[in-house]
Structure 1
Amino acid sequence: MYIQKKIKTVLVFFLLLASHFVQAAIYQSHHLQGNQLQLQTDEYSVVLSFKSEGSVEVVYQKAGLKQLPSFALAAPEQQLAATLSEQPQQLEFASKDLKVRIDKAPFRLSYYRGNELVLAEEQGFFAHETLRGFRFALQDDEKLLGTGQRVVGMDRRGQRLPLYNKASYGYTTEAQQMYFGLPAVLSSKKYLVLFDNSASGFVDLGKTEKDVLQFEAAAGRTSYIVMAAATYPKLIEQYVTVTGKQPLPPRWAFGNFASRFGYRTEAETRAIVDKFASEDFPLDAVVLDLYWFGPDIQGHMGNLAWDKKAFPNPKGMISDFKAKGVNTILITEPFVLSTSKRWDEAVQANALAQDLAGKAKTFDFYFGNTGLVDVFSTQGTAWFEGIYNELADYGVAGWWGDLGEPEVHPSDTIHSIGTADEIHNAYGHRWAELLYQNRLAQQPTQRPMIMMRSGFAGSQRFGMIPWTGDVSRSWDGLKPQVELSLQMGLLGMAYTHSDLGGFAGGEVFDKEMYIRWLQYGVFQPVYRPHAQEQIAPEPVLHDKETKDILREYVKLRYRMLPYNYTLAYQNSSTGMPLMRPLFFENEADTSLIANKDSYLWGDAFLVTPVTAAGVKSVSVKLPQGAWFDYWTGKVYQGGQTIQQPTDLTTLPVLVRAGSFVPMVPVVQSLKDYSSRQLELHYYHDQSVTTARGQMYEDDGVSPDALQSRQYELLSFSAMANHNNLTLELNRTGLGYAGMPKQREVTLVVHQWGKPAKVLVGSQSLKWVNSESELVAGAAWFDEAKQQVRVKLNWEQVKLKVALQ
């Protein structure tokens, strides 16, 4: 009897809950002010405002329901026009590229791109006790991506995923919850919906109900933004227009990093920097993990000051490194242990989050008994900024924010704007914001370099460079890295990269796995081997074969700097990720969405990392067009799946026919970077009659280079017909300090037979018999590689080269 009564009570509760959810609101009135439409229903108010030509923010407000500020939205780039029309049963609110239909009874919103329905509320908004969120109808054939770092496959439909940033130590081929969740979903129907809510919650992508997309949270802002566009790149551009564009990193961030957990002394750190030079490995950064402020792992977090026993002369060390072109990056964490030297200082400054009694909240975690900096409060911000100012005086060039989920965040922790569960997912985001703004204010002529492992939608606008956390040092740790970076890049976090070689565990050195991971790293946004120290993460500390193979890959990374830096420019301008999924190539073929084995590095390169031992070839699904094996020059026709050969010395890389790839000579550090000597490769195929490329150059330092047009944008084009190929080089932009006035260009045309003559303008060049004889004003034909090489001096004028 008791059990039956209990079941009956539970059923009544859920029936009441269901009746609350299905109760439909009724429109009452509206008011249009500029591009903002205010609506009133019998249950709540709704405000719609266009944030770009193809995006609209929707904010629901129910009486008595606490709201938090937006974390996702950037300051609008422009004021947008909107139109409103009314019919008896509907309103229509529209911008140039997006239309919102508002049904009055029952109240419901639907979104159209032209006349095509892309997304519609199902129940729409709901709020009950400590549960609030939104429900949308899903179409049968749509696939869903997004939600940030997860290892669940590219198409995430059918998943119910937590929205609570959480460490995932030693993960491999499956992980539903990781360091950097994002409350945003991108559909194969070319819409993106972003839930601007920082609270703990879930996103259900058709798991509980196959035709419903549901976002739910324990608290937070009841708002979402819908974006729509005709193509995936244009959809991403809408997203970064709304949430903010990634500022350009300093140029040195594209170089090689020395990093481990961790360098324990100044002597050890100096020795590793010297080792890179003596082994002929370029190097641009050295990363100091937590030993810079304490002799061991536990008990010192929060000191945030040099351990002078281990590092007796940090300013001199950093200065010496800088003279060699090596930048110093320091780890910092937001936890201040009660045993640390700064505990009393932090408490007196009121810099820490509080407990329910209004005192500094303390709790235990792996590193000791701790408090947490309240990055949302003015006191916490000011205290933290003071520490960064102190450290910057030593010459520190880059900042590594770790454990910023936060790794441990008790629910009864009180921040200045809300509880832990209300703002948890925005903690790393706000930390990056205060650091980014502080560095720009204190060092206005330098681009901040900020690495963090956790954040929120829009964190890219604070220059955040994320990584994929404490991955297992194993083949299974390598396998999901393409998926993780591609998914993050779709939502603005285009610099997501991995600890090359793997981080966690591993007692025996797996040489093949290590080499394969570091080869793949050349075509990642950041080149940073990093691991626990029982096996050296630095390639310079391994055997001769490993060093000889990887030295050439690190040098390739440096040769490719003009190409890679141009990808950074494209990302900062349009949001286009550096690593791009294959489904961008054929948007009508939704089967490509599942491909997580290969990816495009920019437009030119198709990369397929080797993720298993003993592999002799990899399966590559080729987009349309012709593709060159980067190492052998062999040409494959697109639209088919090939088996691309590989051995331990060759990462499977293909180059698209019609690509321009600019390269420069290798330097020991990007401090000495120059494009005065430029090698410009053009990959010709008879199927390509016209082609275009570009190369972006600036001083590598100035934060406002793009806004002030203090840059040079080189443009390249090719036109082929019959036996003639004409290549044109041009430039735009105002230029920058240190810009070459003239470049010595070696133009390399792949897969073109020896022409009868080569013209630069109207001048015919002389032929030479070997590469060693090649000088400006001459041409050489490499018969073995079927390459025409032309050397010329290029000043700042349009230049035409004709092969006839």
Structure 2
Amino acid sequence: MKLRYLSLSLSVLLASCASGPAYHLDGNRLVLDKNGGQLVLTPLDEDAIQAEFLKAGAVQPASRALVPQQAVKAELTERGNTLVYSLPGMRAEIDKTSLAVSYYRGEQLLLAESSGFLGQEGVNLGFTLQQGEKLMGGGERVLGMDRRGHKLPLYNKASYGYTTEAAQMYYSLPLVISSQKYLLLFDNTASGEMDLGASQGDQMTFSAVGGRRAYVVVASDHFAGLTEEYTQLTGHQPLPPRWALGNFASRFGYHSEAEARDVVKRFKDAGIPLDAIVLDLYWFGKDVKGHMGNLAWDKAAFPNPEQMISDFKKDGVKTVLITEPFILTTSSRWDEAVKAGAIALDASGEPATYDFFFGNTGLVDVFSPKGRDWFWDKYQGLLDQGVAGFWGDLGEPEVHPSNLVHGEGSSDELHNAYGHRWAQLVYDGIGQHRPDMRPFILMRSGYAGSQRFGMMPWTGDVSRSWGGLKPQVELALQMGAQGLGYIHSDLGGFAGGDKFDPELYLRWLQYGVFQPVFRPHAQEDIAPEPVYHDAAIQKQVGDYIKLRYSLLPYNYSLAFENSLTGKPLMRSMLMQSDDVKDFDNHHSYFWGDAFLVTPVTEPGAKTVTTQLPEGTWFDFWTGERIEGGRSYSRATSVDTLPVLVKAGSFVPRVAPSQSTDSYSSKELTLHYWADPSVTQAQGQMYEDDGHTPDAYAKGQYQKLLFSAQQQAGLSIQLASQGRYPGMPQSRRLTLVIHHPGAVKAALLDGKPQHFARDADTLTLTFDWDGAPRTLDLQ
């Protein structure tokens, strides 16, 4: 982000004409008066403009999506009947008669209003779509990558047991990303609809039952830049604790302390790494129904929870608890919550109650100070007991009657912001009560910008079937491009399934190695944890989990990059290539910049086909060299996930540990895939203590920097920046160079070194204290 400054070059400070509106500049905002209201354009960044309609006599709700930005240089000029409002990266052209706004980047038209807010009843907005324009967005949907031609509800709603098509799901987002390289956010939290050319092929419309009349347009030369700019405007995901990248034991659910202790012991005995156990609703009640809202341990089933949590912690296992915003009238907390004023009200001002699957209930009002204070008090008590993370479930909310009245508006106006506000409550509370702790917040519903509260959404109650596995890449790539870089699935599938399918299970968990959160989770009819299956399954899954742990230096560096730029860990082919021909590809994806992954989603698959980007690629398992820019098919077996590595990639690895508590890079292996086609390459590894909040901003980190040049020979440079408490003072570095070519000598800072060599790799080991080093292969 460049340094922003306020500098307005004005042709007119205040103007009015018979055929057009009065307009003036208020600071760096352009304000136009017409039709009993004001159209206000505000530069949010060099490449982003917000448009708002301020209706006379009405209060415009504040944005829940945007975070404050620095001032931006802008220019206002006139060209006949057109006002031209220009930023360094884009401009808005406003017709003075109609006040219709069109947006340009250079000479390219990005999009144009067909019906702006002015003169509209309600909250309605329309744009003209261009011929051939493709649109992704709308949050979680299973409709293919291009969602043009669909009419989509803007209403977070559970989609139990979904498979290969779902138009309405847990986490809707009122935004689109266009093949014209713009992002459009309809900044409104209310129940609504987005019509992406379904009713009229060339029209994109947004509507809502009420709320904010505003939208934001972001422009970039690159598709990845749209996501980076959008997350700059709505807030970056904070770097999670390192353990969030480890393996989770999770199911619906562990009924007792004995069951929880058993699963942790089984992982330890099997030598399969484990970092967290997630306790579903049985921690506060013995039955599915009747107990939701207790938010206190069922001491009959969990007689000594604090000791259990402490014992798990000694083994490097963190405890994560489910919580829901529903307080049943049969729960032990109902009277307390009502007395505290924590429950959302009905139209008569009484605590609203209604029936849903789990019983007769009220809903915590996270939009009222009393509701937030009461709810946080329960979280604080659990934190004090040693709980390390929280799972917020049913936060659409799953049942949210229209007659509910919240502290900041009606349920229909605030519905899509409920999970967003809930995540903020937990995030802010942890920051105040435990400023030494990075939050871990697992939730399935939110709004634009929820990533800044540390929210890690998952794709909901997916069917435990091949049909459930198929859309997971599409969902992850869509949500990642829309700012939610930690979207993930219940590995193995959650809902249904009448018998264990080992092939499906293995394929899903293989994919999970290269997704942000590794959490097998399912209904308990079929165990989601590998330790309850036979020795062969334990070996196959255990090896993949160990691979994930060995990649922690690489994965943690991706998490760090996301925290600075918003770039997701899973990246679409489109995001990497910038070529519209890759817009629809949801079969393969990049894990960071190095790995190209193609999950197997068909039973009994013998071959897998990947549309390779340009360049040179290597099979991660066999080392085979492959030329890109074509369709590539390779044989596959149930043991092997198709993974390719891009030539010129640096990938740091460590020996897998039983838990990230034992993580250390003191023994570090650095892999480099060399090829004559790559003459210059760079890489980096980010490291800190894994738990200090804002470690990078505090200067408590180290970066290891790698670069390579290959012409007559191969030269690799190593350097480092920064320090943090507890870091290795020196590392035993093993450098593995794949496909180095003919090598007669290896010189480290000019001194000959012994190296090992086989057909595809060259390996040498030396001590490195972080000082600059150069390795030359001759």
Specify the TM-score bucket, using the shorter chain as the normaliser.
Answer: over 0.9
* Residues 151 and 26 of structure 1: CA distance in aligned 2, closer, same or farther (over 3 Å): farther
Q: Does residue 38 in structure 1 map to residue 21 in structure 2? A: no
Q: Which residue of 1 aligns with 2:67?
A: 74
Q: Which residue of 1 aligns with 2:690?
A: 700
Q: Does residue 800 in structure 1 map to residue 774 in structure 2? A: yes
Tell me, what secondary structure is at the counterpart of 2:117? strand
Distance, in Å, in 2 between the alignment partners of 1:26 and 1:547 is 75
Q: Which residue of 2 aligns with 1:730?
A: 719
Distance, in Å, in 1 between the alignment partners of 2:337 and 2:85 is 50
Distance, in Å, in 2 between the alignment partners of 1:66 and 1:79 is 24
Q: Does residue 581 in structure 1 map to residue 572 in structure 2? A: yes
Q: Which residue of 2 aligns with 1:542?
A: 533
Q: Does residue 353 in structure 1 map to residue 344 in structure 2? A: yes
- Residue 760 of structure 1, aligned match among 748, 768, 773: 748
Q: Which residue of 2 aligns with 1:14?
A: none
Distance, in Å, in 2 between the alignment partners of 1:513 and 1:721 is 45
Q: Which residue of 1 aligns with 2:618?
A: 628
Q: Which residue of 2 aligns with 1:457?
A: 448
Deviation at 1:754, TM superposition (A): 4.6
Distance, in Å, in 1 between the alignment partners of 2:757 and 2:80 is 75
Q: Which residue of 2 aligns with 1:7?
A: none
- Residue 260 of structure 1, aligned match among 251, 275, 278: 251
Q: Does residue 229 in structure 1 map to residue 229 in structure 2? A: no
Q: Which residue of 1 aligns with 2:288?
A: 297
* Residues 127 and 674 of structure 1: CA distance in aligned 2, closer, same or farther (over 3 Å): farther
Q: Which residue of 2 aligns with 1:739?
A: 727
| Paired amino acid for 1:42 | N
Q: Does residue 658 in structure 1 map to residue 651 in structure 2? A: no
Tell me, what secondary structure is at the counterpart of 2:479? helix
Deviation at 1:64, TM superposition (A): 4.6
* Residues 675 and 96 of structure 1: CA distance in aligned 2, closer, same or farther (over 3 Å): same
Matches within 5 A, 1:117-136: 117-125=109-117, 131-136=122-127
- Residue 780 of structure 1, aligned match among 756, 775, 778: 756
CA-to-partner distance for each residue in 1:600-624, whole Å, 9 max, x for gaps? 1011111011111111110110000
Matches within 5 A, 1:398-413: 398-413=389-404
Tell me, what secondary structure is at the counterpart of 1:107? coil
Deviation at 1:646, TM superposition (A): 1.0
CA-to-partner distance for each residue in 1:715-772, whole Å, 9 max, x for gaps? 11111113x1000111123x21111111111000001235111010011113xxxxxx
- Residue 707 of structure 2, aligned match among 717, 731, 748: 717
Tell me, what secondary structure is at the counterpart of 1:446? coil
| Paired amino acid for 1:164 | Y
- Residue 174 of structure 1, aligned match among 116, 140, 165: 165
Q: Which residue of 2 aligns with 1:315?
A: 306
CA-to-partner distance for each residue in 1:632-655, whole Å, 9 max, x for gaps? 111110001011221011001111
Q: Which residue of 1 aligns with 2:598?
A: 608
| Paired amino acid for 1:211 | D
Distance, in Å, in 2 between the alignment partners of 1:31 and 1:578 is 44
Tell me, what secondary structure is at the counterpart of 1:134? strand
* Residues 699 and 26 of structure 1: CA distance in aligned 2, closer, same or farther (over 3 Å): farther
Deviation at 1:692, TM superposition (A): 0.9
Deviation at 1:42, TM superposition (A): 2.8
CA-to-partner distance for each residue in 1:61-80, whole Å, 9 max, x for gaps? 2235453221111122x222
- Residue 99 of structure 2, aligned match among 96, 107, 114: 107
| Paired amino acid for 1:756 | K
Deviation at 1:586, TM superposition (A): 2.9
Q: Which residue of 2 aligns with 1:150?
A: 141
Query: Conserved in 1, the CA contact under 8 Å of 2:53 and 2:118?
Result: no
Distance, in Å, in 2 between the alignment partners of 1:69 and 1:537 is 43
Q: Which residue of 2 aligns with 1:28?
A: 21
Deviation at 1:585, TM superposition (A): 3.4
Matches within 5 A, 1:385-396: 385-396=376-387
Indicate the RMSD between aligned Cα atoms, in angstroms.
1.2
- Residue 680 of structure 2, aligned match among 684, 690, 705: 690
TM-score when normalising by structure 1: 0.93
CA-to-partner distance for each residue in 1:340-397, whole Å, 9 max, x for gaps? 0000000001101000110000000000000000000000010011111111111000
Q: Which residue of 2 aligns with 1:678?
A: 668
- Residue 470 of structure 2, aligned match among 475, 479, 483: 479
| Paired amino acid for 1:700 | G
Distance, in Å, in 1 between the alignment partners of 2:482 and 2:382 is 32
- Counting aligned pairs with the same residue, the percent is 56
Q: Does residue 510 in structure 1 map to residue 501 in structure 2? A: yes
Distance, in Å, in 2 between the alignment partners of 1:585 and 1:355 is 49
Distance, in Å, in 2 between the alignment partners of 1:445 and 1:153 is 42
Deviation at 1:34, TM superposition (A): 2.5
* Residues 315 and 687 of structure 1: CA distance in aligned 2, closer, same or farther (over 3 Å): same
Deviation at 1:31, TM superposition (A): 1.9
Distance, in Å, in 2 between the alignment partners of 1:335 and 1:652 is 43
Distance, in Å, in 1 between the alignment partners of 2:119 and 2:463 is 40
| Paired amino acid for 1:796 | G
Distance, in Å, in 1 between the alignment partners of 2:525 and 2:280 is 15
| Paired amino acid for 1:696 | Y
Query: Conserved in 2, the CA contact under 8 Å of 1:262 and 1:532?
Result: yes
Range with bigger deviation, 463-472 or 744-753: 744-753
Distance, in Å, in 2 between the alignment partners of 1:26 and 1:632 is 71
| Paired amino acid for 2:718 | L
Range with bigger deviation, 399-408 or 635-644: 635-644
Distance, in Å, in 2 between the alignment partners of 1:257 and 1:617 is 31
Query: Conserved in 2, the CA contact under 8 Å of 1:714 and 1:732?
Result: yes
Q: Which residue of 2 aligns with 1:20?
A: none
Q: Which residue of 1 aligns with 2:174?
A: 183
Range with bigger deviation, 521-530 or 231-240: 231-240
Distance, in Å, in 2 between the alignment partners of 1:97 and 1:146 is 23
Tell me, what secondary structure is at the counterpart of 1:125? coil
Q: Which residue of 2 aligns with 1:769?
A: none
CA-to-partner distance for each residue in 1:150-197, whole Å, 9 max, x for gaps? 000000111110000000000000000000000000001110010110
Query: Conserved in 2, the CA contact under 8 Å of 1:27 and 1:42?
Result: no
| Paired amino acid for 1:134 | L
Distance, in Å, in 2 between the alignment partners of 1:634 and 1:342 is 61
Q: Which residue of 1 aligns with 2:48?
A: 55
Query: Conserved in 1, the CA contact under 8 Å of 2:224 and 2:576?
Result: no
Distance, in Å, in 2 between the alignment partners of 1:750 and 1:647 is 24
Distance, in Å, in 2 between the alignment partners of 1:682 and 1:337 is 56
Tell me, what secondary structure is at the counterpart of 1:294? coil
Distance, in Å, in 2 between the alignment partners of 1:424 and 1:113 is 34
Query: Conserved in 1, the CA contact under 8 Å of 2:39 and 2:118?
Result: no
Distance, in Å, in 2 between the alignment partners of 1:490 and 1:35 is 29
CA-to-partner distance for each residue in 1:329-349, whole Å, 9 max, x for gaps? 000000000000000000001
CA-to-partner distance for each residue in 1:682-711, whole Å, 9 max, x for gaps? 011121111111111111111111222321
CA-to-partner distance for each residue in 1:316-340, whole Å, 9 max, x for gaps? 0001111111000000000000000
Q: Does residue 90 in structure 1 map to residue 90 in structure 2? A: no
Distance, in Å, in 2 between the alignment partners of 1:732 and 1:47 is 45
Range with bigger deviation, 407-416 or 42-51: 42-51
CA-to-partner distance for each residue in 1:129-158, whole Å, 9 max, x for gaps? 5x4221011110211011110000000111
Query: Conserved in 1, the CA contact under 8 Å of 2:35 and 2:118?
Result: no
CA-to-partner distance for each residue in 1:548-575, whole Å, 9 max, x for gaps? 1111100000000011011111111111
Distance, in Å, in 2 between the alignment partners of 1:27 and 1:706 is 51
Q: Which residue of 2 aligns with 1:790?
A: 764
**What residue ranges of structure 1 are gaps of 5+ in the alignment?**
1-24, 767-778
Query: Conserved in 2, the CA contact under 8 Å of 1:742 and 1:793?
Result: yes
CA-to-partner distance for each residue in 1:8-46, whole Å, 9 max, x for gaps? xxxxxxxxxxxxxxxxx9742122132222211134201
| Paired amino acid for 1:108 | A
